[in-house]
Each structure stands twice: as structure tokens, then as C-alpha cells.
């Protein structure tokens, strides 16, 4: 017990003998609320309101799942860069899903098995060298077709910028189709059961014009992510610029800090 004029023990231990030295007005007192200036310190941990924290949790108390956006490519590829004008902001490019090559790859595998079986069969018959050579030439032609389709898939790109969506394809004859984002009146993507399993879908774009150079784009990967990218670019372009600008600022600060 202490009297009205006594100094508490915790003040005496830090006082250095007289009970007052070493103690300032800024010293926090047990049981009192912390000073507001502590939360204004940039190095202090951020304050989270309990109601906001509850909104980020599921009913069972676990953390809610937050959609994470895949990182954007920094620069377009050489194939795409030639079709972008200087004031256009690149948002990403995507190849079609590998399912796009399902038919040609299946044809190539089937042709290889058929050639193997025919080669064995003709070898047992004897004297069928000319027919065997003809089968080999047919197999080479089929594999040439498969290689052509694979190369065409490699150069086929779906492109998104802050102004338009584009599809570039073709090897010998190059096709470039585009639709301004401002003219897109309706957009959807469709996923078959196999598409949901393998994560690909078909995009359907509608515009106000009658003739549409770009309407249906099948076999695009990550359709939900791509759909959100396009919608955000259409309705919240300022948010995209702010997010990407923040990333660029952080990168510049890291470079200056390392220097």
C-alpha cells in the first residue's frame, strides 16, 4: 500500500534514486491508452479495425481467399511489338491452350503407329520395298502437317492493351484482327466440362458494329483470369494504372536503394 504522497515502486526503480529522474511526460503509464502519435510513426505496424478484420475472415474464423492476379509481362514480344503504336500501353499476350493442338498431335501419333505396323507387315511379305517407301513418304507428309500446325500455334497470340484486344496469327499469310475496348458492348467466355478441367475457354466479344473482325476466340488459357483482366481494363482503367504505377515506383526505389 502507498499513501497519497508516495511514489510507485516502478517509478522508483527507473528514477535513479529521487523517483523522478529518467521519467518524462511521454513515458506510457500502465493501464492508459497508448499515445496516438505512436500510430503515426511510419515504422509502426498498421492498425486494423476489428470489423475490417472480421470481413476478411470466413465464418469459421479462417482467412478468406483473395483473388491473386498473375503478374503482367513487362514488355511485348517482338512478334507483338510491331503491331502496337507508341502511346498504347501493353497489358499482356497469351498463346492458345495446348488443347488447340489436340487434333494434329493425335493425327501424328496415329500416323506413326500405322507406319510402324505397315512397315512390319510389308517386311514380312518381302519384295514390298516400293510400297514401304510410299508409306514413309506419306508419314513424312503427315508429320510436316503436324509441324506446320505447331508452328502456327506458336505464332498465334491473343493481345490485350489499354485500347483494344487483338488476335495475331498466321505464318506465311499474317492475319491481325482487333476490336477497340470502347466498342465492346458484351463479352463472355464459355467453358466445356473438359475446359473446366484443363482450364481453357472460348471468348465471345460483341460490338455495336455489324461487321466484326474479332468475335469468337477459342481455346484461351486461364479464361477467368483473362476475363477479369479485360473487364478491369474496360471499367477501371485508373485502377490498373495505379497498380502498375505502384509496382514501377517500388522497382525504382529498390534500384535507387541498391545504388
The half-sphere exposure of 6 on its side-chain side, counting CA atoms within 13 A, is: 6
pLDDT of res. 60: 59
Mention the CATH class of domain 78-96+158-239.
mainly beta
Higher-pLDDT residue of 148 and 253 is: 148
Q: What is the C-alpha separation between 108 and 105, in angstroms, rounded?
A: 5
Give the pLDDT score at 12: 47
What are the pLDDT digits (tens) for 147-168? Answer: 999 999 999 999 999 999 999 9
pLDDT of residue 121: 82
What mean pLDDT comes out for the span 226-240? Answer: 87
Does the pLDDT value for residue 7 go beyond 70?
A: no
Question: Which residues, at least 6 apart from 215, have a Cβ–Cβ distance to it below 8 Å?
Answer: 204, 205, 206
129-154 helix and 102-125 helix, angle to the nearest 10 degrees: 170
Confidence of residue 210 (pLDDT cuts 50, 70, 90): low
Average pLDDT, the chain: 76
Cell of 205: 466479344
Q: What is the pLDDT of residue 214?
A: 84
pLDDT of 59 over the 70 cut: no
Please tell me the pTM assigned to this model.
0.64
Length of the chain: 259
* Domain spans of the chain, in order of start: 78-96+158-239, 100-153
Q: Report the sign of the C-alpha dihedral through residues 69, 74, 77, 80, in that order.
A: positive
Q: Quick one: pLDDT band at residue 3, thresholds 50, 70, 90?
A: low
Amino acid at each position: 500500500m502507498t499513501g497519497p504522497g508516495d511514489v510507485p515502486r516502478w517509478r522508483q526503480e527507473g528514477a535513479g534514486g529521487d523517483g523522478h529522474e529518467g521519467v518524462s511526460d511521454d513515458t506510457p503509464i500502465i493501464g492508459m491508452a497508448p499515445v496516438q502519435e505512436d500510430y503515426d510513426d511510419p515504422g509502426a505496424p498498421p492498425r486494423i479495425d476489428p470489423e475490417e478484420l472480421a470481413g476478411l475472415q470466413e465464418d469459421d474464423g479462417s482467412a478468406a481467399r483473395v483473388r491473386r492476379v498473375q503478374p503482367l509481362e513487362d514488355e511485348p514480344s517482338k512478334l507483338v511489338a510491331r503491331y502496337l503504336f507508341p502511346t498504347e500501353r501493353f497489358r499482356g499476350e497469351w498463346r492458345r491452350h495446348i488443347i488447340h493442338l489436340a487434333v494434329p498431335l493425335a493425327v501424328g501419333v496415329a500416323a506413326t503407329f500405322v507406319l510402324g505396323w505397315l512397315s512390319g507387315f510389308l517386311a514380312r511379305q518381302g519384295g514390298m520395298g516400293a510400297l514401304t517407301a510410299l508409306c514413309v513418304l506419306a508419314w513424312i507428309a503427315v508429320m510436316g502437317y503436324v509441324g506446320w500446325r505447331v508452328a502456327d500455334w506458336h505464332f498465334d497470340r491473343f493481345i490485350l492493351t489499354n485500347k483494344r484486344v487483338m488476335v495475331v496469327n498466321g505464318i506465311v499469310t499474317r492475319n491481325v484482327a482487333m476490336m477497340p475496348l470502347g466498342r465492346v458492348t458484351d463479352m463472355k467466355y464459355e467453358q466445356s466440362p473438359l475446359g473446366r478441367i484443363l482450364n481453357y475457354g472460348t471468348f465471345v466479344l460483341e460490338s455495336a458494329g455489324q461487321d466484326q473482325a474479332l468475335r469468337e476466340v477459342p481455346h484461351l488459357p486461364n479464361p477467368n483470369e483473362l476475363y477479369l483482366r479485360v473487364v478491369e481494363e474496360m471499367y477501371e482503367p485508373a485502377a490498373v494504372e495505379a497498380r502498375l504505377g505502384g509496382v514501377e515506383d517500388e522497382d525504382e526505389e529498390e534500384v535507387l536503394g541498391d545504388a
